[in-house]
Structure 1
Amino acid sequence: MQKITFRIGAFSVSVSYLQQRNTSGLYYYRRAIPSPLRHHYNGKRELVYSLKTKDLNAASQKAQELALQHNNEFELLRHNITPPPVFTIPPASPLPAELVPAPAEEQPITLDEIKTNALKSYLGNKKKTTEIARCFGYFSELPPILSHIKKRDVLRVVESLKTDHQLKTATIKKAVGFISRQVKLTLQLHDSGIPNPFAGVPFDNIKKDAEKRHTFEAVELQKLKETIRKKSGLITAQIVGLLYDTGCRNAEIGGLKLEDIKLDTPIPHLVIKPHEQRGLKNDNSERLIPLTGMSLEFAKIVTAAAQPGQVHALPATSKITNLKVIVALRL
């Protein structure tokens, strides 16, 4: 069962069935439906309502009001009494003393269900949903039912990812950590005592197998400049040209729109902001980048080559999130 704890003066209050979405910041009410009653809800496993607020106090009061109404609704259904047909979110009111916990989950929890719930939390975030699919894909050979998965099974897959698939330890640890958090959330939601097989997986050689990045020498940088100027008509050369002197990420340049290139200003610059086809790594990534030297030169090349009605600065890369541009240039 999901809980959030907050303080009121000198008191700590735990609120059940409450979850905050990472993408919107809105609070949601989530509660498992007891197995014997699911046929009254068209077979649904849980009830989910948006509380339409980012304020924890307001969300807590609404969640507990909903929980009390559902306690009553479940009790009526157990005695074959039809509850009121219209269910609405009530206005906020003083916090009740406590809530009756939801009945223990009887149906098996699956990894696919946990993955689905994780994807719902990041709807609209293409980069995150792709990452979630990749993380769970690493462990697709595990038994589908959570209670059938043992920690030794997870360790076996981890070892295979390192030896057979040549994944770095840091990459595997990140995936295991994310799945572990999602499993924990689901177990709390269903008030289940099933052990979390992804929790506490040891990683002794973290970062020891990471590849050290090569620092370009002056002669290599000069060669790079010469090469991209010779091949300035290529998309890959234009990407490197815009990366030069800006410090932007590959995907930030690949997802630029023409309107993001500002040349008719006292200080020419790029506007780095999220778009529907490409998000940003974090909130702090939204920024203005001055154009100087090589980047200014290629910003002019890109805008001069734009066709009427063109939206993206580099149309062929508008959906690319990871560009291997240096290799593509075959320096």
Structure 2
Amino acid sequence: MKLNYLHIRDGFYYFRRAIPPRLRYQFDNKREFVISLGTKDRRLATLNYSKLDQKYDSLLKLAAQDPNFIGATEFQKMAADSGIHSFPDDVGSLSVPELIELTGKNLDIIRSLPSNPRIRAGVLAAALNSSVRLADIYDRYKVITRDKDLRRTPRERQKAQKPIELAISEFVVAIGDLDVRKLTKKEGYQFRDKLISDIESGKISASTANKKIMHLRKIINAVFQADYPELVNPFEVKAIEDTEKGRRKPFSEIEIEDITEKLHSNNVNDQLKAIMFVSMFTGAGCKELALLTSSDIVLDADIPHIRIKPNEFRTKVKGGGERHR
């Protein structure tokens, strides 16, 4: 990470960023932002630097726009980057000193915004009225974990995303489209209880139910770690006990003979038949076989074999399995 605006003075680190001359009138004619990072430790200064860099970058971009063409998305981003606090639902239970402290913090932040009244009002309104839904969490999760998609094909991305989208939809229908930041383990266990009912009625297995919870826990964990480290993941709940754990039962000889006979008599093309027969004898999956190249097929060895390894069609291979050489 470049630290263009990190400076040291009298042993302490500061964030200093110049304000373009054409924008200075929006910041009380200041020439630059100067914020003490409150430490002599470069490592700690670097940690604090990134948030300030993001905040003041957003500030300057917002100030450069025509206020009449700034939309809700920009206001929401600025509210998040600047750190304006929304009031809790039970605001009436807060003491007067707590209310004054919260209001004072927001006023200080508002004063740091561009001086245009519409911008200040828009950012404050976005902060006070904002809520973070599961759909928002998922959008943010995809940004945070986008490196995972670098080596995925469009089909692989779709397969990875579909179960998460289904879990989100199911939670919203069962529990509600709530602000995720206000969810507690109570809602997590309510969803767990709903899934147990589905298991009892035979709709899904315990394994499938646990995966639904896992998908929600995974996306929230990634976003909370990045954006809300002080919050507790509401889906850190007890796993549903699975009475059907274990390997799938192998095919019996009778079943194998029946499958083989049907393959021989089927009218599918020879290539598909070949893939299915090779799969039966090697244990390789159909996709693994379809992505083989000629160099992956070794016929002149003492024991003829195939190799499942990265090639021009396959960018990665699962590790640790006996089948993968």
Whose RCO is larger (CA < 8 A, sep 6+)?
1
More strand by share: 1
When Rg is computed on C-alpha atoms for both structures, the one with the higher figure is 2
More helix by share: 2
Report the TM-score when normalising by structure 1: 0.48
